[in-house]
Copies of this chain bind each other. A is one copy, B any other.
Amino acid sequence: MKPIKKTFFKLSILFFVFCCPALAQKDYKLWLQYEKKTNSKTISDYLSNIKGIVVLEDTETLKIAKNELHTALNDMLGNKMQAGAKLEGNNTIILGSKLALSPEIQKEIGSGFDLINDEGFIIKSISVSNKNHIVITGKKDIGVLYGVYHFLRLIQTNKPIQNLNIADSPKTNIRILNHWDNLDRTIERGYAGFSLWNWQKLPGFIDQRYVDYARANASIGINGTVLTNVNANALILTPQYLEKVEALANVFRPYGIKVYLTARFSAPIEIGGLKTADPKDPGVVNWWKDKAKEIYKRIPDFGGFLVKANSEGQPGPQNYGRDHVDGANMLADAVAPFGGVIMWRAFVYSEHDANDRAKQAYAEFVPYDGKFKENVIVQVKNGAIDFQPREPFHPMFGAMPKTPLMMEFQITQEYLGFSTHLVFLPKLFQEVLEADTYQKGKGTTVAKVVDGSYIKTKLTGIAGVSNIGNDLNWTGHPFAQANWYGFGRLSWNPNLDSETIADEWLRCTFSNDENFISPIKKMMIESREAVVNYMTPLGLHHIMDTGHHYGPGPWVSNLSRPEWNPVYYHKADKNGIGFDRSKTGTNATSQYAPEVEKLFDNVKTCPEKDLLWFHHLDWDYKLKNGQTLWDGLALKYQEGVDQVKNMQNIWNKAEKYIDNERFKEVQMLLQIQYKEAKWWRDACLLYFQQYSGKELPVGVEKPAQSLDYFKSLKFPFAPGN
């Protein structure tokens, strides 16, 4: 560090220019940046339509709506109005629910209210007494809040606000985050720090972050949150914790968010002092009824329970010779008097069941169709294994026409690179939702099962396993915020297009500059296929390392339960690779509707993206493009790596459009992703090469390390385990 100039008169002079130390503020603000518009024409156009805000009600929710609108407009359009602008009874934004509207305004809305449900909103340009206004309304005040966020999104994304006539409602009832948060604040499969819920300081201390969390969720239509891990601790149901839960519920309520908890099935024993948790035992039944009463006394709008029972070691009704129906219905009866719901997870598989694991949930649950109480909804993961980079849609969707089924997506990237890999999940979600189950003929998409248009059920819902932690940027990766955002938007409308979501999110979060939007949106959309390619191409699945699930581990074969081992899933041997789930194998294909069954069963019609999910094929099997399976597989791995390299190139060109802090964060993370993509490629190909006995095809980079090296890697403190 030697001085470069010694003469006073040769000094370089610095004038004061605006320059802020980086403070992670943008990271924290998510998609609610409300960046000041830079184009004066844009500003004046908006301002000519917005001269004031009028609020017709004084509820907590309307106060929030008002503050949000007020602050956001001020931030985006400048505070010119503050300097003496007077309301001239023209061009105001009017906020109020249906009953608060004057007859004149109600008349202007006309039959609009018939188009929306209780959570829906209407945004309409109206004329009253020859004055133009924009009214944002709904049947209830939460609709007004949703409408405000929609209206703000129009401005965030530079959309026109003339002649508005929008009526929109959520397509599902339960739009909910599942936090796998433990009471010690560790998060199972959490990669963005630790739990937001500071149980130690609750109920006395309300962290501002709880409010900001509720605000972010409300802005994308999420209306429920399960605070605790599905691998549950009964203590959350004790008064000591319920007092804390109540405090959170009070914060979330005006944002339209209900609180739910996970119910540990053995709680009557662990905290109730009973000898059994048998759902048919009258003492147990009463214990849960009393517990529900106790909870609802504190939290009148408590949502209900999410239950993981008889799954991966969790207790459940089967411990007492009962079944899932017995367990779920018993709990359903306890919460029914208060309007509560039981979300009963179908994620079950047994080490004692010799069946293909992919078949077990269907086999166990489908016979229960029609037997659950009406306030039970069965929560089904998007695929039959476990949140892999790609899975065919779960065969349960559409297969239980008398039972409400809700979707369980995983937003946290347990199997998709943690929070270090940029993977835009709405693309994955959309693929699942668009999949056609054919259960009621062509067009019976998973989305239609989920949104209740397949069978009219009282309950519909979409759950997302949260990727939120106490990192400054909430989700660990700036682009992981898009997955939270996208989940919320899809839970509101399962038919939304992932490209639309990416577009919205980028504009709200970063910039409206088309030179930024166009390449970065493309990068996001392609990112999902990239992770499939460099981790598990052509239908491979569950070949990650054990426990923490960080990095590749196709060689793992020593775990106590067969279906926990990667070798169970890829079945690579000298004869080939892949899991034969066709008729010649486990016949898992038969769980689908005949049209789908046929498609998957026949190796010629089976989509190549799902090939090794359903078929065990020779290394020399010819792919559609003429490559052998071995060559094709290797080239897919290489393609994934190349795609990440390309993402880096695209991102590097984004520097001038956005703030330096987030630019650099993403740049560093893409560098890690590139390194790890190569790790996956090299480790998997070296491992499979032992069986194929073939050279890597031209175009695939030579591994930089040996298979033994990759097998030797240990990560004792990898997060989320």
Contacts and interface: CB of A to CB of B under 8 A. Distances in A.
A112 interface: no
Interface in A24-78: 24-25, 27-29, 32, 52-61, 66-68, 70-71, 73-75
A421 to B, nearest CB: 12
Contact of A79 (B18, B193, B201): B18
A185 interface: yes
A470 interface: yes
Contact of A61 (B1, B32, B70, B87): B1
Nearest to A5: B56
A481 to B, nearest CB: 15
A81 interface: yes
A617 B29 CA distance: 59
Interface in A77-128: 79, 81-82, 85, 87, 92, 94, 96-97, 99-102, 104-105, 128
A208 B11 contact: no
Contacts of A66: 14
Contacts of A593: none
Contacts of A102: 6-9
Contact of A55 (B12, B53, B87): B12
Nearest to A3: B100
A208 B79 CA distance: 31
A661 to B, nearest CB: 6
Interface residues of A, number: 97
A709 interface: no
Interface in A246-279: none
A418 B420 CA distance: 33
A184 interface: yes
Contacts of A21: 32, 67-68, 71, 212, 215
B24 A209 contact: yes
A174 B199 CA distance: 37
A704 interface: no
Contact of A205 (B25, B28, B206, B669): B669
A15 B201 contact: no
A472 interface: yes
Contact of A99 (B3, B215, B420): B3
A166 interface: no
Given A23-B208, A24-B28, A194-B470, 5 more contacts: A13-B54, A15-B81, A20-B71, A24-B208, A200-B420
By Cβ-Cβ distance, the 8 closest A-B pairs, closest first, are A3-B100, A8-B102, A1-B59, A204-B672, A16-B81, A11-B54, A183-B717, A3-B57
8 contacts: A1-B141, A8-B101, A13-B92, A17-B82, A23-B29, A183-B716, A184-B719, A205-B669
